[in-house]
Structure 1
Amino acid sequence: MSDSMEEKATKELILPPSERSSEDVELPPEGGTKAWLTVFGGWLTVFATFGYVNAFGVYQDLYTRSGAASAERISWIGSTQIFFLIGMGLPSGKLFDMGYFRSTMIVGSVLYVFSMFMLSLAHPDKYYQIFLSQGLGMGIGSGLLYVPAMSIQAHHWHKRRPMAMGIVITGTSFGGVVYPIMLNQLIHGKTGFAWGVRASAFLSMGLLFIAYFMMFPGPPKPKASIPSFKILLTDAPYMFAIIGSFVAFLGFFFPYFYLQLYAILKGVDSTLAFYTLAIMNTSSIFGRTLPNLLAERIGIFNTLVPITAITGILVFAVFGITEAAGTVVFAILYGFFSGSFLSLLPPLAASLARDASEIGVRMGFAFFVAAFGCLVGGPINGTILGPTFNWSKPIVFSGVTLLGGAGLIFIARIFQQKRTMSQRI
């Protein structure tokens, strides 16, 4: 029997054109109670992990102005944390595909929360203590959580997968609102650094505990052949999309790391500057949902390419920020479009998988490569910023890399389009 129109549309989203056939894959159920609970559990996980990373600008400002180290060295802490958050997707994605979702979540949660408590015991002016606990420990722990929490959504959704993943990743935005406000108020208030960090650790521990019981892996599936790295490396649309993400990430986190410090040094009231990260992440809530709904209609590539380009153009607008109003407007716009960029990457990687059994590996490898952009991007910006705070250099670097990433993702779209045309012929 021939496929229905709905089944064909579904396979257009999940499989690359050269691999589609009605026998390739048994599609997962579309929604249901367990699916929505899994979305909620994933949202809590992302809130506590990626949402916390989005608050690193608070620590960048604190450590820099306390004289713990140069802006470059401090940025290595945040970039290392982000690198492991995303880059650990390679082993955690493989473990997920092998059926070790529960075990991976337990190990990741324990390591992440333990490292956060260790950070509360560190001295803010002791660089090695901060790097080990916040950069390595929290980074590796969160990396064991992030990709499985995203990949498990594929067990419950197919046609509406971009929507489901978009909802999950809004946890990044909500966490990026709550944690900066919480940390700024506690650390710079009477509570102080140690108990401010501990309070955030207790919150994260509670969220991850609830999340563990909210997520439900799908039923065991017959083992499918996992693609070799040779197959992945010769998949042109997939590789150009990955390389484009890597290049874009070189400049992507510049505002998240430096906007609070930039605003304070430009004379913006410190109270307002403390809320710039929260404003940016509040705006990104809409950016992580609306474009995903658009992607269901016009395609992920057609949505992601212009959004990445606009994000790069917005970085150049930092040149015009000289007062509070400009800071707020930039935070709103950059939050929306940068949130869109992040929310579309997971469904993009999933859409290039041959079937649901290899989504974890595809997403993990993609995030692993892109993570190197996160690792070196922050320190490069810190280096070219220098002790004299020459802001023009990191602004140009970040804007150009984001535009370059958009160009490479556009090339990936061209290859994908050629593959589609050859399949039709």
Structure 2
Amino acid sequence: MADNSYNASPTLACVSMPDIGSPEKLDVENKAGESPPPSGPPDGGRDAWLTIIGGFLVQFCAFGYMNSFGVYQDYYTRDFLSNKTPSDISWIGSFQLFIMYALGVVVGHAFDSGYFHHTMVFGSVFYVFSMFMVSLAKPHHYYQVFLSQGVGMGIGQGILFLPSLTIVGHHFKRRRALASGIVVSGASVGGVVFPIMLSKIAQRTTFANSIRATAALVAVLLFIANLLMKTRLPDRTVGRPAPRPEVKGILSDWTFVIAVLGAFLTNLGLFFPYFYLQLYAVAQGIDPSVAFYALTILNSGSMIGRLLPNFLADSLGVYNMLIPFIVISAGLIFSLLGIHSFPSIVAFGALYGFSSGAYVSLIAPLLGQLSSHVGELGIRMGIAFSIVSIAMLIGTPVEGALLGRKDAEIVWSRSIIFCGVGHGHSGLHDDGNISVLVC
């Protein structure tokens, strides 16, 4: 590698993050009677770490619940929506992911405009309400599940997801990658806890009651998270003028554009194991009461992957940590072609969880590195997430449609190859220098 610095590539040089404490760079007028701009991220302190805990809880409840969709995919395919194909069912989860990312531009602009707490409170209420609506859906009524889970929960998660990541940039700069890793690790912990809750409670009562139990837990945790998180910029209500980031300038930043392109290709196949690994385990003859642990192990590996690489990224560089894990993830996907026993599925889940978790956790610090000042953090994330949302929408349904049947058994090879190829083409290389830009 040509350069191990934080701005890794000499071919596509990244914009260095300036001192966000500068009033000129913040583009905030220090008018008479207004509090002066903050002096820059403190990289610690009581408010900073409480905000990290709050962000962790939001990720636990939002993306963490999304990471448990494999339980729904398996249950809907075999029972609740057995009149629908795996592809039809995966549209529920993929549309949920799509909405969660597609709202990025709107939510990011609201964040930059000082409406952080407004969006968090509204998103929390709407999300919990939608979860309870899912529990009231009737068997074989696809539209009820799609509207309440795919649309309703997706909107709630979308409103919560981006602000809980972006707020890290208000409190951390030098240790931003580590702080972001701690926050997004909440999604992995949720991906461990929620599949166990859903499966165990459903075995003792009904699946609807298991959804209600998880919804109640989410309501309590989001209430606590809203009390913990704080923004360092003045709230919109104190008269701060809304920032006006140069969107045209962002879209003409080719380093940023290529990063988003790499993200789009990667996310076409990234969530295939998160949606289908439990169903894959059942298809290999593993008891369904045990198969759900494959998803739990996958998310356990992801939890470690979201912490260790981020700890190293602050010193070795975000790109230098990100690129190898993209390659490893692609190789692991192809290894599924030869995996049929439960121990090998467990090993795959742990390793793929680690590598994909590293990829997901480095998104926020990467976009922070590409931002010229704190006032455009939200809009840059929003633009990137909105574009990537299209890959989220079509990826898993396409993989579900590629699942064939032979003698009443599912044939997995086409979906696995599609997923692995998507990973393999997620970057660009130029003259031996690091120019693989993935988001």
Tell me the amino acid that sits aligned with residue 82 of structure 1.
L
Alpha-carbon distance between aligned partners in 1 of 2:324 and 2:139, rounded to the nearest angstrom:
40
1:153 CA displacement: 1.1
Alpha-carbon distance between aligned partners in 2 of 1:209 and 1:247, rounded to the nearest angstrom:
36
Cα offsets for 1:340-367 (capped at 9, x unmatched) = 1100111111110000111011111111
Unmatched 5+ stretches in structure 2: 27-38
SS in structure 1 opposite 2:371?
coil
1:410 CA displacement: 11
Q: Which residue of 1 aligns with 2:35?
A: none
CA contact (8 A) 1:244 1:409 kept: no
1:87 pairs with one of 102, 110, 124: 102
Q: Which residue of 1 aligns with 2:67?
A: 54
Structure 1 segment 17-416 matched on structure 2, within 5 A: 17=15, 24=25, 27-66=40-79, 67-187=82-202, 189-220=203-234, 226-388=244-406, 389-407=410-428, 413-414=434-435
Greater than 6 Å deviation, 4+ residue runs? 9-12, 408-412
Evaluate the alpha carbon distance shift between residue 160 and residue 407 of structure 1 in structure 2; reply closer, same or farther with a 3 A threshold: same
CA contact (8 A) 2:113 2:242 kept: no
CA contact (8 A) 1:241 1:409 kept: no
Q: Which residue of 2 aligns with 1:3?
A: none
TM-score scaled to structure 1, two decimals? 0.90
Evaluate the alpha carbon distance shift between residue 17 and residue 196 of structure 1 in structure 2; reply closer, same or farther with a 3 A threshold: closer
1:271 CA displacement: 2.9
CA contact (8 A) 1:41 1:212 kept: yes
Evaluate the alpha carbon distance shift between residue 268 and residue 251 of structure 1 in structure 2; reply closer, same or farther with a 3 A threshold: same
CA contact (8 A) 1:42 1:168 kept: yes
Evaluate the alpha carbon distance shift between residue 344 and residue 161 of structure 1 in structure 2; reply closer, same or farther with a 3 A threshold: same
CA contact (8 A) 2:16 2:370 kept: no
More displaced 10-residue stretch of structure 1: 178-187 or 35-44:
178-187
Alpha-carbon distance between aligned partners in 2 of 1:165 and 1:412, rounded to the nearest angstrom:
27
CA contact (8 A) 1:245 1:409 kept: no
CA contact (8 A) 1:279 1:331 kept: yes
Alpha-carbon distance between aligned partners in 1 of 2:302 and 2:226, rounded to the nearest angstrom:
25
TM-score scaled to structure 2, two decimals? 0.87
Tell me the amino acid that sits aligned with residue 207 of structure 1.
L
Alpha-carbon distance between aligned partners in 1 of 2:287 and 2:147, rounded to the nearest angstrom:
33
1:230 CA displacement: 2.3
The structure carrying a bigger helix percent of its residues is 1
1:50 CA displacement: 0.1
Cα offsets for 1:79-99 (capped at 9, x unmatched) = 011111122121111100000
Alpha-carbon distance between aligned partners in 1 of 2:148 and 2:342, rounded to the nearest angstrom:
34
Alpha-carbon distance between aligned partners in 2 of 1:377 and 1:177, rounded to the nearest angstrom:
23
Paired positions, count? 406
Alpha-carbon distance between aligned partners in 1 of 2:184 and 2:306, rounded to the nearest angstrom:
7
1:270 CA displacement: 2.5
Alpha-carbon distance between aligned partners in 1 of 2:61 and 2:436, rounded to the nearest angstrom:
37
Alpha-carbon distance between aligned partners in 1 of 2:268 and 2:64, rounded to the nearest angstrom:
19
